[in-house]
Homo-oligomer: A and B are copies of this chain.
């Protein structure tokens, strides 16, 4: 009887174990815990009645097509709606520049698979989205992290690292960035830094992968042009964009899309074909309805108002319970679902997590947002899911928990 399978596994996967975040999940459902750990949009923002209506209508008119195999790149009607949706960001594309994906995670994985051989170098922010790290790690690249500042990546450090890598013959395959309300930090990359990143991308011939899950969830301040749109103005053709409907519509449909040069998109389509064939038409149809029939702008406005209130409650309570000199600091995002709390350097948030559970509050320890050499005194806070009352109470509990560590 075969019991030892490890020797059969591929080198890419043998030591791969997915999101290490998984180990904390079992604590989140303990009774009385207020969890700020998830990345869930609030079900209060779900357009439930609208989805039911759209579902009935599409199943009525199109059920045979919904039940059959459909085109690998995506439904024409949906792609047209996406092309329209992108125009508000000054992005003008043809259908050859779009591939419908089965989620933002899928878009990341198609990117990693298309570009990365084991040992290849890529550059990411420190910290950055854990889901990107794990998807890229399946190809075993060398992931180089650059510190992020309040207005985006540390540009001089980036420049130094890139030159150093090029001198060593290890030119990065791409630079991955979440420029708007980054997960986990909530930081937005400034226009100046976006332009600098593009300049350096042209200078060194390093494509940029821009991941934009939260872009439309801006609660204050002025929208910054996407790197993709800036590149398009320069006719650079250097940027690949990753999008998802998980945060705007709902995660459950598992729908997103990638945009980029035709040469990139057509190759990603080949990979998608051998990976999952087509994305289910029904799930695309529901997103088409979301874009074209569900009053997108007023829904987004409602989401912004709803999440802004939660963010403000959280930030106000933090100021109250962590005054100057408390040794605790945090980012003040202008949008998105997350912020980043830094605690005194002697505290390892992996240990703090278990202490916090005793106080009935949970967060994600920051180390999972680093590909290597994690900084240990951070926590990612999600403010979109818990109620305002829970957010206030959660901050109080965090304050008590941290007080007890002194």
Q: Which of B51, B56, B115, B254 contacts A277 (CB 8 A)?
A: B254
A3 to chain B, nearest CB (A): 7
Stretch at the interface among A4-12, A347-355, A359-367: A4-12
- Partner among B138, B205, B246, B280 whose Cβ is within 8 Å of the Cβ of A254: B280
- Please report the C-alpha to C-alpha distance between residue A109 and residue B13 in the assembled complex, in whole angstroms: 13
- Is A250 an interface residue when CB atoms closer than 8 A count as contact? yes
In the complex, chain A residues 215-240 whose Cβ is within 8 Å of any chain B Cβ: 235-238
Please tell me which stretch of A60-68, A82-90, A304-312 contacts chain B, meaning at least 4 of its Cβ atoms lie within 8 angstroms of it: A60-68
By a CB distance below 8 angstroms, the chain B residues around A3 are: 237, 261, 263
Taking the complex as formed, is A165 at the interface, i.e. its CB lies under 8 A from any CB of chain B?
Answer: no
Q: What residues on B are CB-neighbors of A16 within 8 Å?
A: 267, 270-271, 274
- The one of B9, B11, B114 in contact with A13, judged by C-beta atoms closer than 8 angstroms, is B114
Taking a contact as CB atoms closer than 8 A, the residue among B65, B173, B237 that contacts A2 in the complex is B237
Stretch at the interface among A99-107, A150-158, A375-383, A390-398: A99-107
**In the bound complex, CA of A18 to CA of B105 (Å):** 21
State how many angstroms separate the Cβ of A235 from the closest Cβ of chain B.
5
B252, A67: Cβ atoms closer than 8 Å: yes
| Total copies of this chain within the assembly | 2
Q: How far is the CA of A109 from the CA of B273 in the complex (A)?
A: 10
Cβ A252 vs Cβ B70 within 8 A: yes
Chain B residues whose CB sits within 8 angstroms of the CB of A180 once the complex forms: none
Instruction: Tell me whether A51 and B67 are in contact (CB under 8 A).
Output: yes
Interface, chain A (partner B; CB < 8 A) = 1-6, 8-13, 16-19, 39-40, 43, 46, 48, 51-52, 55-56, 59-60, 63-70, 102-103, 105-106, 109, 113-117, 120, 131, 134-135, 137-139, 173-174, 205, 207, 235-238, 246, 250-254, 261, 263-264, 267, 269-271, 273-283
